[in-house]
Structure 1
């Protein structure tokens, strides 16, 4: 099994593997190009976004700057929007649904490390997928940690640190992020 196959299977892998280093470098070059395009170059942003993401539907947009580890492990849905400063460490799958809005300076992490210091010293890491449902709004300066699922129709308040799954149809916020209440109003 290659290091890339181990990574995608959620197994411990060596991030220094030449293929993985090459893929990360290539993604950084694509992100750098995307981030340096003039704001009015919509066609250029569209072209690079297609190279950047594993999958995306129509009308997906990310305000520069954006940063991905691999990009190809991230998919976004219809009318996805990310404000300035999105960072995605996607050593595992990141699946983002339709009509998702992400505030500025949001970080999504799938990469994680062993808790045991001896195991951590080996340099091996592994990833846990992140899933964000449909019609989700994530406030600015939020951190979404490895292995988290956020349910449909949920709002995550600004500055939250999401360390565990958040159900559908709720307002959640804080550090650690916790459910505050169900969403019942329509406006």
Structure 2
């Protein structure tokens, strides 16, 4: 997926950051998810995996996505075995967002895969990938910023805001998030 040059399209004045075909795919996706995904019963994880795969997501057969979760652009979503995207999660995947095996993203968490260049007068969009490692847990209402890697087995506490990488098997909390201690490995 390529991002349009802000100098040519002027997003500061309402111009697009993505091509027409990209925006049309997101429009169709939004309609399909709204009609067939969001209204599906909670246990119908297989149905929602199917819908996401049809639109290009890479999802393991045992991954679970709750109906109220919001996935901005399915081709940029990659979910490992037994990973979970909980209720009302915002997966703003302007760039790739990967959830490793057994990773949990709890209710109301926000994964934000893009930002803008603060020094660019044209407000250029800059997509940055996010990786949530195997057995990591992003707790309720936490925010994971663009380009952040949450290491294997790491825990990001409820309502924490992280804008830099979290090491493997570390517990972080707060706003801004800071390391609290190491987590017991399992």
TM-score (norm 1): 0.85
1:26 maps to 28
Decide whether the 8 Å contact of 1:88 with 1:108 is kept in 2: yes
State the number of aligned residues: 177
What's the CA shift for 1:22?
0.8
Q: Choose which of 43, 64, 68 in structure 2 pairs with 1:65.
A: 68
SS of 1:49's equivalent in the other structure is: helix
Deviations 1:128-187 (A, max 9, x none): 11111100011100111101011101111000111100000111111111111011376x
TM-score (norm 2): 0.85
1:119 maps to 122
CA RMSD, aligned part only?
Answer: 2.2
SS of 1:115's equivalent in the other structure is: coil
1:85 maps to 88
Matched, 1:5 2:15: no
In structure 1, runs of 5+ residues without a counterpart are: none
What's the CA shift for 1:5?
2.9
Change (3 A) 1:164 1:118: same
1:99 maps to 102
Matched, 1:157 2:157: yes
User: 2-side partners of 1:133 and 1:112: how far apart?
Assistant: 22
What's the CA shift for 1:105?
0.5
User: 2-side partners of 1:90 and 1:140: how far apart?
Assistant: 19
1:35 maps to 38
